[in-house]
C-alpha cells in the first residue's frame, strides 16, 4: 500500500497526465463514495485539535464544484435506491460532530451550489456546549508551559512538549503536535471509567487544569441553526450524545448514548433520523451491541470512518465506508479519490 507522500505524488502525476480525467469519463468504477469532513476554515494558532480542519473555505468550494460536476450527489433519502443499483457513480458529502463553522462556512457554500450534505450531530454538545475530549487534550497540551510532562500510571516515559508559538502550525511537525497525537491515541484505548481520571491528571500535570466551559462558547451549532439548514435541504443524523467510543461502553451505556441521541434529534427536528455515524469510526470502536442498539432505536444506515467506498452490489447497511478529507489534501488528491477510490479512498 502506498504511503501518504507517495499517494500525493502519484495523484499529482495522474492529474498532470490527464489520467484522472480519462478514468472519470470512462466510469472506471460504480457505487457510492462518501466523503467526510469535520471543520471548514483555517486552524491558525488554535489551541484545539488542528487535524479536525478538513479544508479551507476556498478549497471546500472547489471540491464541492468538482464533485457536483462528476457525481450524482445524494442524501440519506436516496441510500436505499442507490445501494440497490448495479450501476451509477454517486457521492455523499458528510460532516461529523456539529461544529459551528459547518453552519457559518460550509452551509452557505452548499446552499449556493444547490448541493445536499448530511451532518451527524453529537446532540449533547448542542444541548450543553463544552469542549470535547479531543479538543481538550490539545487545549491542555498547547496551553501548558511545561517543557515535558510525565503522566505517571498512564505513560511510561516523559513526553516532550513546547508552548504553542506563531510558528507552530499543522504544516510544521513539532514535539507539541507529536504529544497531542500520542495522547489522543492513548485516550482512544482507555475504558470509559478511565477517561475522566486521565483528563484530570493530564490537566494537573500540565499545570492548566481542565478546559473551562467558556472556551466552548460559539463552538457548536444551535438547534435553530440546524432547523434552518434542514429547511434549506440539508440532512441530519446521529453521532451519539457525548461522542464516546461506543465499544468501550457497557451495553446500557451504548443504548443510552444512541437512544438519547435519537430522541433529541426527533424532538428538535420533528422527525426520526435514519442515519448515524460512529464516533472515531474505526472497526474496533463499534460492535454487535452497537448494531443492535442502532436497530432498536430506528437507525437504518450507519457510516464508519476508516476509508474505502461502497461498491455496487450487496452492502452492510450498518458499516457503510467513508473516506476522510484532510486539510493537507490538494485538489489532485480529491480528483484521484474520485477517479480511483480503489487506491486512494
In this structure, are residues 235 and 92 in contact, taking their beta carbons and an 8 Å threshold? no
- Where residue 274 falls among pLDDT bands split at 50, 70, 90? very high
Residue 300 has pLDDT above 70, yes or no: yes
What pLDDT, on the 0 to 100 scale, is given for residue 271? 96
Helix 4-16 crosses helix 331-339 at what angle (to 10 degrees)?
80
Owner of C-alpha cell 502506498: 2
Dist. CA 87–CA 85, nearest whole Å:
6
- Where residue 7 falls among pLDDT bands split at 50, 70, 90? confident
What pLDDT, on the 0 to 100 scale, is given for residue 172? 54
Residue 41 has pLDDT above 60, yes or no: yes
Q: What is the DSSP letter of 307?
A: S
Mean pLDDT on 132-159: 94
Dist. CA 127–CA 123, nearest whole Å:
6
Nearest C-alpha neighbor of 286 from the set 326, 325, 334, 254: 254
Q: What is the 3-state secondary structure (H, E, C) of 94-119?
A: EEEECEHHHHHHHHHHHHHCCCCCEE
Q: Which of 9-18, 54-63, 132-141, 155-164 has the lowest mean pLDDT?
A: 155-164
In this structure, are residues 116 and 234 in contact, taking their beta carbons and an 8 Å threshold? yes
Which set of grid coordinates corresponds to residue 113? 451550489
Confidence (pTM): 0.94
What pLDDT, on the 0 to 100 scale, is given for residue 223? 98
Helix 175-188 crosses helix 133-143 at what angle (to 10 degrees)?
150
What pLDDT, on the 0 to 100 scale, is given for residue 89? 94
Mean pLDDT on 204-211: 97
Residue 278 has pLDDT above 60, yes or no: yes
In this structure, are residues 92 and 35 in contact, taking their beta carbons and an 8 Å threshold? yes
Dist. CA 18–CA 212, nearest whole Å:
51
CATH code of the domain made up of 4-129+217-344 = 3.20.20.370
Mean pLDDT computed over every residue of the chain: 94
- HSE-up (13 A, CA, CB side) for residue 47: 18
pLDDT digits (tens, 9 = 90+) for 304-318: 999 999 999 899 999
Dist. CA 40–CA 292, nearest whole Å:
33
What pLDDT, on the 0 to 100 scale, is given for residue 86? 87
In this structure, are residues 303 and 320 in contact, taking their beta carbons and an 8 Å threshold? yes
- Give percent of the chain with pLDDT exceeding 70: 96
What pLDDT, on the 0 to 100 scale, is given for residue 170? 47
- Where residue 3 falls among pLDDT bands split at 50, 70, 90? low
Element (H, E) at 159: strand 159-160
pLDDT digits (tens, 9 = 90+) for 56-115: 999 999 999 999 999 999 999 999 999 999 889 999 999 999 999 999 999 999 999 999
Q: What is the β-pairing status of strands 148-149 and 159-160? A: antiparallel
Collect all residues with Cβ–Cβ distance below 8 Å to 132 and sequence separation of at least 6: 97, 122, 125, 243
What pLDDT, on the 0 to 100 scale, is given for residue 173? 63
Residue 164 has pLDDT above 60, yes or no: no
Q: What is the DSSP letter of 154?
A: T
What pLDDT, on the 0 to 100 scale, is given for residue 28? 82
Residue 252 has pLDDT above 80, yes or no: yes
Amino acid at each position: 500500500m502506498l504511503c501518504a507522500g507517495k499517494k500525493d505524488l502519484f495523484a499529482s502525476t495522474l492529474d498532470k497526465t490527464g489520467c484522472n480525467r480519462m478514468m472519470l469519463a470512462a466510469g472506471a468504477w460504480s457505487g457510492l463514495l462518501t466523503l467526510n469532513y469535520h471543520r471548514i476554515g483555517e486552524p491558525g494558532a488554535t489551541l484545539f485539535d488542528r487535524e479536525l480542519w478538513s479544508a479551507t473555505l476556498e478549497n471546500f468550494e472547489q471540491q464541492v464544484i468538482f464533485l457536483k460536476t462528476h457525481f450524482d450527489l445524494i442524501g440519506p433519502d436516496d441510500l436505499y435506491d442507490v445501494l440497490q443499483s448495479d450501476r451509477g457513480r454517486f457521492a455523499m458529502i458528510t460532516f461529523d460532530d456539529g461544529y459551528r463553522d459547518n453552519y457559518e462556512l460550509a452551509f452557505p457554500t452548499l446552499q449556493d451550489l444547490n448541493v445536499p450534505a448530511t451532518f451527524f450531530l453529537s446532540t449533547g454538545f448542542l444541548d450543553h456546549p463544552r469542549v470535547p475530549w479531543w479538543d481538550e487534550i490539545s487545549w491542555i497540551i498547547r496551553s501548558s508551559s511545561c517543557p515535558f510532562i510525565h503522566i505517571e500510571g498512564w505513560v511510561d516515559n516523559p513526553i516532550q512538549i513546547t508552548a504553542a508559538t506563531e510558528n507552530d502550525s499543522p504544516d510544521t511537525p513539532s514535539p507539541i503536535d507529536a504529544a497531542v497525537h500520542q495522547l489522543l491515541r492513548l485516550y482512544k484505548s482507555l475504558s470509559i471509567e478511565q477517561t475522566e481520571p486521565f483528563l484530570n491528571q493530564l490537566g494537573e500535570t500540565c499545570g492548566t487544569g481542565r478546559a473551562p466551559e467558556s472556551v466552548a462558547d460559539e463552538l457548536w451549532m444551535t438547534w435553530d441553526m440546524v432547523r434552518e439548514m434542514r429547511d434549506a435541504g440539508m440532512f441530519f443524523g446521529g453521532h451519539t450524545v457525548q461522542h464516546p467510543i461506543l465499544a468501550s461502553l457497557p451495553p446500557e451505556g451504548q443504548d443510552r448514548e444512541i437512544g438519547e441521541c435519537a430522541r433529541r434529534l426527533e424532538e428538535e427536528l420533528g422527525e426520526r433520523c435514519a442515519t448515524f455515524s460512529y464516533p472515531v469510526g474505526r472497526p474496533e470502536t463499534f460492535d454487535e451491541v452497537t448494531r443492535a442498539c442502532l436497530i432498536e432505536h430506528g437507525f437504518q444506515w450507519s457510516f464508519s470512518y476508516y476509508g474505502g467506498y461502497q461498491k455496487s452490489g450487496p452492502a452492510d447497511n450498518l458499516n457503510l465506508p467513508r473516506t476522510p478529507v484532510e486539510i493537507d489534501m490538494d485538489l489532485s488528491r480529491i480528483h484521484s479519490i474520485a477517479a480511483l477510490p480503489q487506491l486512494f479512498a
